[in-house]
Structure 1
Amino acid sequence: MPRDALQTTSRQSQAREAKALAVAKAKAIAPDLVARIGSTPKTTFRGDPDIFGRLVEDHDRHRALLAMIEETQGDSDDRRALFEELTRELKAHAAAEEQALWSSVLRDPETTDFARHAIAEHKEIDDLLADLAARDMGSSGWLQRFAALKAEYLHHIREEEQEQFVAAEEHLSSTDLRHMRRVFEQRKKAEKAAAQIEKKIRLKD
C-alpha cells in the first residue's frame, strides 16, 4: 500500500478511536442509555494530538451527552445526572478553551472576530443551561427548551471545527498548539471541579 494511503488509513483509524473514546466517557454516566450521535460534521482535527484534536474529543463527548439526555424520560435520575455532567463539562470546556486558545487568537487582528464570536456563543450557551436548570425537568416543555440548547451548541461546535479552528491554526506554530493543549488540560480539570450549576430563568426566548 502506498505511503500516502497508509497515512490516510492511520489518520482515519485515529479519528474513529478518538470518537469512540469520547462516546464511551459519556456513556459511563448512564450505561443503559444509547448515545446516537450518528455522523458528525467533517473535520480534519479529530484524533490529532494538538489542542484542536483535544477540543474535538470534548465536542464528541458533548454530542453523546446531548443525545443521551434526549433518551431520558421525565425528572429521572439519569436525566439529572446527565444534565449535571453536561453543564459541568460545557462550563469547564468553554473556560479552558478561552484561556488556552482564544486568549491568544484574540491578539491577532486577522482572527479576532473568530475568537469574539466563539466567546459570545459560550455566554449564550451558559445562559441556556442556567434556564434549563431553573425549570421543572419533568415538564412537557423542558425537552423542547433542551432541543433549542442542543441546536445552538451543535451549530457552535460545527462552526468551531470547520471554520474557526481552521482560521486559527494558520496563525499558530506547532509549539503553540502543544502548549495550548497542556494549558487546556490543566485549566479544564480545575474548572470542572469548581463548576456550579446556576439556575436562572431566561426572560427572552
Structure 2
Amino acid sequence: MATKTKEKAPAKAKADAIAKAKAIAPDVPARIGTTPETDLRGLPDIFGRLIEDHDRHRALLAMIEVTEGKSADREALFEELVYELKSHAAAEEQALWSTVLRNPETTEFARHAVAEHKDIDKMLDDLTARDMGKKKWMERFADLKHEYLHHIREEEQEQFVESEKILTDADRKHMRDVFERRKTEEKARAELKPKLKISDIA
C-alpha cells in the first residue's frame, strides 16, 4: 500500500478544483453537494490528480444545470466540459488503465472504466449535435450528468481502490506525470464533434 502523504488538504484540493470551473463563468453558482468518501483526494499521485479533475467536472455539471437557454455561459461551460471529459478520459486510459489492464487482479475494473468512457463520449457527441436552447437538450444533459457522476463514484470508491493495491509509490507518481503531459496534449486537440445531424423539434 502506498504512503498517504498529502499534497494538500482534501477540502482545499476540492475547493481549488471548483475554482478552476468557476473561472469559466464566475457568476454561475457551482453547488456540487456532497462527494463520495475517499482518502485519495489531495494525494500527490495519479489518484489525487484524477479526483482533482473529477471535482472540477462535478462543478461544471452543476453550473451547466442552472444555466438557461442558449446562453453564453451555457455555451462556454459545455465547451469546457467536452474538452475536459474527452482529454481526461484519453489521458487516464494512457496513464493508468493501460497498466492496470495488464494485471489479472484488476483487468475487469479497467475494462469497465474504459467502456464507460466510450459511452460518455457518445453522449457528449449527441449533446453537441443538439440545440442547447431546447428542452430535449436539458433532458439529455441530465442523462449525461447521472451517467458521469455514477462513473466517477465507481472509480473513486471501487476501481481506484483496487488499482492502488497493485501499484508502487513510484508507479503512481510516474503515472501522474504521464497524465499531466497527455491531458495537455489531448485537450489541445479535443473537438466539439456532433454524433449526427439532429433536427430537434422537442
TM-score (norm 2): 0.93
Give the corresponding residue for 2:80.
85
Residue 112 of structure 2 corresponds to residue 117 of structure 1: yes
Indicate conservation of the 8 Å contact 1:135/1:201, yes or no.
no
Q: Over residues 48-69 of structure 1, what are the superposed CA-to-partner deviations in whole Å (9 max), with x where a residue is unaligned?
A: 1110000000000000000000
Q: CA RMSD in A?
A: 1.6
In 1, Cα distance between equivalents of 2:197 and 2:62: 23
Indicate conservation of the 8 Å contact 2:82/2:192, yes or no.
yes
Q: Over residues 26-57 of structure 1, what are the superposed CA-to-partner deviations in whole Å (9 max), with x where a residue is unaligned?
A: 00000000000011011111111110000000
Cα offset, 1:158, TM superposition: 0.2
In 1, Cα distance between equivalents of 2:171 and 2:43: 14
Residue 60 of structure 2 corresponds to residue 29 of structure 1: no
Q: Over residues 120-175 of structure 1, what are the superposed CA-to-partner deviations in whole Å (9 max), with x where a residue is unaligned?
A: 00000000000000001111111111000000000000000000000000000001
| Structure 1, unpaired ranges of 5+ | 1-7
Indicate conservation of the 8 Å contact 2:129/2:197, yes or no.
no
> Whose relative contact order is higher, 1 or 2, with alpha carbons under 8 Å and at least 6 apart?
2
Give the corresponding residue for 1:172.
167
Give the corresponding residue for 1:43.
38
In 2, Cα distance between equivalents of 1:54 and 1:142: 31
Identity of aligned residues (%): 68
Give the corresponding residue for 1:5.
none
| Structure 2, unpaired ranges of 5+ | none
TM-score (norm 1): 0.92
Indicate conservation of the 8 Å contact 1:127/1:202, yes or no.
no
In 2, Cα distance between equivalents of 1:102 and 1:28: 30
Indicate conservation of the 8 Å contact 1:131/1:202, yes or no.
no
Q: Would the alpha carbon gap of residues 137 and 46 (structure 1) be closer, same or farther in structure 2, given more than 3 Å must change?
A: same
Q: Would the alpha carbon gap of residues 143 and 190 (structure 1) be closer, same or farther in structure 2, given more than 3 Å must change?
A: same
Indicate conservation of the 8 Å contact 2:109/2:159, yes or no.
yes
- Hey, which bits of structure 1, 4+ residues long, moved more than 6 A? none
In 2, Cα distance between equivalents of 1:184 and 1:73: 34
In 2, Cα distance between equivalents of 1:179 and 1:112: 20
In the alignment, residue 103 of structure 2 is paired with which amino acid?
A: D
Q: SS where residue 72 of structure 1 aligns?
A: coil
Cα offset, 1:202, TM superposition: 9.7
